[in-house]
Homo-oligomer: A and B are copies of this chain.
Amino acid sequence: MRILVTGSRGFAGKHLVNLLKKNKNEVFGIDIFPASNEPSELKVDLRDSQSVSEAVTQTAPDVIYHLAGIAFVPDALTHPSTLFDVHIQGTLHLLEACLHLPSLPRFIFISSAEVYGIAKEQELPFKENSDLRPSNLYALSKLMGEQLVQYYGNVHGIRWVVFRPFTHIGPGQSPTFAASGFARQLSRIALDKAPPVLFVGNLATKRDITDVRDIVSGYASVLSIASFPSGKIFNLCSGHTVSIGELSEKLIRISGFETEIKIDPSRLRKTDVPITSGSFKKAELELEWRPTIPLDQTLKDLYQYWISTQ
């Protein structure tokens, strides 16, 4: 199958491209910062409709995975215009480009669990039909992305699936995200490159955390089951919630060192959602997907990733 992945140099994008290639697909990537030595990866700014249109025409995919976006929420929130340009116009440009292909590709949109917003504990875990109350512009722009995809499905017959991944972590993630940042700090302490102090943000924040490799196997699953589940939305999550405090303690245990924990005010997110917790029952039932990598294994791999790249 010919598959186009947007955001192919992103954290999940790289893992997805690897998996799809392993599954014998012909994979093309577009990214604003493509790999220089990779001819199947094109440099595309999603905000430029002409460039998006050319990339889609040129690669003529059977399937598009649309992952590209501004992944780090605090960055996204400080530039609302750019956020909406990338998330709304970018998605619009891709969908419009699909209409000009000889046959319509299937469109898999990677939304975010952020669309659910801030829940009362009794509303958890979030299911796909839970209320949507975006509590930041990142979440709102992702919800609007879903609406665009559904619109092109209804009006133009594009077959689509939407995924709402919850927090995912693993090797290759930017250290601006908590778990990866902790693992990087600890790897530097282990290698005597930093004093034994781990700087942290909101320790009480609880997240439903999944390994990125499990998440992308969820994305890929829609292509391996008997029929494409068009018009459906799926959570991808572990169903287990862990606090950022527990995460940091687990990572310290993995590092094998005694390390002091200090709060770094610059790491405290202002609009933090206190808890996320999801149900993956629908994906399990319809996609035969479930997470397989235990959190401790993910954290070990993440720590080793940073040890090996220091």
Binding site for B on A (CB under 8 A): 49, 80-81, 84-85, 88-89, 92-93, 96, 133-137, 140, 143-144, 147-148, 151, 154-155
Contact = CB atoms under 8 A, between A and B. Distances in A.
A155 B147 CA distance: 21
Given A81-B49, A84-B89, A89-B85, A140 B147 contact: yes
A182 to B, nearest CB: 29
21 contacts: A49-B81, A80-B92, A80-B96, A81-B89, A81-B92, A81-B93, A84-B88, A84-B89, A84-B92, A85-B89, A88-B88, A88-B144, A133-B154, A134-B151, A135-B154, A136-B155, A140-B148, A140-B151, A143-B147, A144-B144, A144-B147
Contacts of A133: 154
Contacts of A81: 49, 89, 92-93
A120 to B, nearest CB: 15
How many monomers of this chain does the complex have? 2
Contacts of A155: 135-136
Nearest to A48: B81
A244 to B, nearest CB: 23
A143 B146 CA distance: 13
A137 B154 CA distance: 12
Given A81-B92, A140-B147, 19 more contacts: A49-B81, A80-B96, A81-B89, A84-B88, A84-B89, A84-B92, A85-B89, A88-B144, A133-B154, A134-B151, A135-B154, A135-B155, A136-B155, A137-B151, A140-B148, A140-B151, A143-B147, A144-B144, A144-B147
A85 B93 CA distance: 12
Nearest to A135: B155
Contacts of A84: 88-89, 92
A129 B241 CA distance: 36
Contacts of A151: 134, 137, 140
Contacts of A154: 133, 135
Nearest to A155: B135
A85 B154 CA distance: 22
A290 B281 CA distance: 50
Nearest to A140: B151
A149 to B, nearest CB: 11
A264 to B, nearest CB: 26
A155 B140 CA distance: 11
A160 to B, nearest CB: 15
Q: Max chain B CB contacts within 10 Å: which of A80, A96, A143, A154?
A: A80
Contacts of A135: 154-155
A144 B135 CA distance: 15
